[in-house]
A and B are shown apart, each in its own frame.
Chain A
């Protein structure tokens, strides 16, 4: 029998989002230590090998490497908690997102969509760069491009959900295909329309370090977002929370 306790409250969702975000942030931070740290060190070695610190930005002056590694984990945890709170709010407000599916499926698909918009899309157009790559003079312009692409990507995800609800009269395979084609078209337009990054990669940065770092960075953001979706989904799905005997059916 359905009771009112099955109906989640915003506060309950928020607490679960924060909890799931903290855990997934910790996992992402561990991925950072175990996977991303090696290419960062390789990039710092390239920077240290440069003749003079002409750029004027000294790394490791304020903090030792060890402290910065701890800071990297802490950054992932803090960001995980913050995006967990935002994710819970988006989940609570999502009225069209796979409404017929179980809460776990809704949470995981929503986190996959946000990962695609906020991490994978910028990783394709403006891939992550290790230290020693990136011109300090262009950082503001690059930040605007990066945040603009994320905002546009989130808009595409929202639009896909809206389109799917508007095409409710179509039969299922046709509807999914139409939405998927629209998303692909929108993403291609975004990738073409957004300007290229203004920076060139310095010649002394090995391509292998760059490649390793970018893949590792993607692994960390994937851990953060998909971990958040899975963790949140497990916490909000009543089927997971309690095994309820459905005798009335």
Chain B
């Protein structure tokens, strides 16, 4: 549809190429968010209690459902 050459009609309709490793970054980011805000023992088992209590204020303050 649009040629890579500079075309005035689509000059503001830019598309940034997203590399494959971006999906790995997104996966890591989602996992980190889940570990901090949601982990209740599925992945970390008993250690989850420690993570849970340490980030406890943050979980509540950010509006995440808690016990």
Query: Which residues in A have some Cβ–Cβ distance to B below 8 Å?
Result: 2, 7-11, 13-14, 28-29, 32, 36-37, 40, 55, 57, 59, 61-63, 67-69, 71-76, 78-79, 81-83, 85-86, 89, 92-93, 95, 99-100, 119, 122-123, 126-131, 134-136, 139-140, 142-143, 145-146, 213, 216-218, 220-221, 224
A122 to B64, CA, bound (A): 9
Is the Cβ of A68 less than 8 Å from the Cβ of B30? no
User: Nearest-CB distance from B61 to chain A (Å)?
Assistant: 4
Is the Cβ of A57 less than 8 Å from the Cβ of B36? no
User: Nearest-CB distance from B28 to chain A (Å)?
Assistant: 8
Give the number of residues in B that approach A within 8 Å (Cβ atoms).
38
User: Nearest-CB distance from A93 to chain B (Å)?
Assistant: 6
Is the Cβ of A99 less than 8 Å from the Cβ of B56? no
A140 to B41, CA, bound (A): 12
Partner of B61, one of A14, A72, A142: A72
Is the Cβ of A83 less than 8 Å from the Cβ of B61? no
Q: Is the CB of B45 closer than 8 A to any CB of chain A?
A: no
Is the Cβ of A217 less than 8 Å from the Cβ of B61? yes
A83 to B61, CA, bound (A): 16
Partner of B65, one of A29, A32, A76, A146: A146
Is the Cβ of A134 less than 8 Å from the Cβ of B66? yes
Residues of B within 8 A of A74 (CB): 54-55, 58
Is the Cβ of B63 less than 8 Å from the Cβ of A78? no
A40 to B62, CA, bound (A): 12
Residues of A within 8 A of B49 (CB): 62
Given A14-B25, A71-B56, check contact A92 B66 (CB 8 Å).
no
Give the residues from 11 to 67 in chain B that come closer than 8 angstroms, CB to CB, to chain A. Answer: 12-19, 22, 25-26, 28-30, 32-33, 36-38, 40, 49-50, 53-67
Is the Cβ of B62 less than 8 Å from the Cβ of A10? no
Is the Cβ of A221 less than 8 Å from the Cβ of B63? yes
Is the Cβ of A135 less than 8 Å from the Cβ of B63? no
Is the Cβ of B16 less than 8 Å from the Cβ of A76? no
Partner of B33, one of A55, A79, A89, A216: A79
Known: A68-B57, A71-B54, A217-B62. 4 other contacts (CB 8 A): A32-B61, A99-B12, A139-B66, A213-B60
Is the Cβ of A63 less than 8 Å from the Cβ of B54? yes
Given A76-B62, A99-B12, A218-B63, check contact A92 B18 (CB 8 Å).
yes
Partner of A67, one of B15, B16, B54: B54
Partner of B15, one of A63, A95, A100, A146: A95
Is the Cβ of A89 less than 8 Å from the Cβ of B65? no
Residues of A within 8 A of B17 (CB): 10
A126 to B63, CA, bound (A): 9
A136 to B37, CA, bound (A): 15
User: Nearest-CB distance from A177 to chain B (Å)?
Assistant: 24
Is the Cβ of B63 less than 8 Å from the Cβ of A57? no
A224 to B56, CA, bound (A): 17
User: Nearest-CB distance from A103 to chain B (Å)?
Assistant: 10
